[in-house]
């Protein structure tokens, strides 16, 4: 559902004791169901902020109080109500976190991490041989981006921190599918002083 290049643009600025995050310049809302509603944009923006500003503190309302956000109406970070779909909102919303990390890296270059990808998944639904309906989700996980002090973690989705699914679990609740192969993607982390985490993929037959 992406037929053109999309931009999530962030400007971070300090005003007195407040931190202002501005999404002006982000792409117009998409006709596809990939737009990020403001609540989702706000949540994952705050994930990026917390990673840099207060990664070790428990979540609390005081951390959010000095943060101000501007999300222009009609953009992919704040679509007009009921005019477009938001079912696959993570496609854009999760990248709000990376945009924030990129903006803050200008001020604190030794914190945060390199970009990751939220990864893909697909749903499988149908009827078993006994006529019982089933619904399952298959997840192959990319790795986390590299950090200043080390490599990224392999086979973990950012920002949800979901690990890859064991083969035994998959075949246990979907006996009609057999996993032929599940393996690490060789060299998928990229080169560098610290590499990104490796991703994985699987092949199935039914």
Render pLDDT for 88-119 as a digit per residue (tens, 0 to 9).
888 888 889 889 988 988 888 777 778 777 66
* Phi, psi of 162, deg, nearest 5: -90, 125
- pLDDT reading at 172 higher than 70: yes
Render pLDDT for 56-85 as a digit per residue (tens, 0 to 9).
889 888 888 999 999 999 999 999 988 888
3-class secondary-structure state, position 51: helix
For residue 1, the model assigns a pLDDT of 61
Provide the mean pLDDT of the chain: 83
* Phi, psi of 80, deg, nearest 5: -70, 140
For residue 39, the model assigns a pLDDT of 93
**DSSP H helices in the chain:** 38-53, 61-64, 90-104, 167-173
Is the whole-model pTM more than 0.85? no
- Asked whether 10 and 101 are in contact (CB, 8 A), the reply is no
For residue 175, the model assigns a pLDDT of 66
Helix (H) or strand (E) holding 182: strand 178-184
């Amino acid at each position: 559902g992406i037929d053109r290049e999309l931009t999530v643009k962030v400007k971070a600025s300090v005003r007195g004791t407040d931190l202002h995050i501005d999404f002006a310049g982000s792409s117009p809302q998409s006709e596809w169901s990939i737009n990020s509603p403001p609540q989702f944009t706000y949540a994952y923006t705050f994930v990026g902020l917390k990673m840099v500003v207060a990664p070790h503190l428990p979540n609390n309302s005081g951390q959010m109080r000095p943060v101000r956000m501007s999300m222009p109406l009609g953009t992919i970070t704040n679509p007009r109500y009921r005019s477009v779909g938001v079912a696959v909102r993570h496609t854009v919303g999760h990248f709000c976190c990376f945009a924030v990390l990129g903006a803050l890296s200008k001020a604190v270059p030794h914190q945060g991490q390199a970009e990751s990808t939220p990864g893909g998944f697909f749903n499988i639904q149908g009827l078993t041989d006994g006529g019982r309906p089933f619904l399952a989700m298959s997840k192959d996980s990319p790795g986390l981006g590299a950090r200043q002090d080390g490599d990224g973690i392999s086979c973990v989705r950012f920002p949800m921190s979901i690990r890859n699914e064991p083969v035994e679990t998959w075949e246990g609740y979907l006996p009609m599918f057999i996993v032929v192969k599940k393996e690490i993607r060789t060299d998928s982390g990229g080169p560098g002083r610290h590499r990104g985490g490796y991703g994985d993929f699987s092949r199935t037959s039914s």
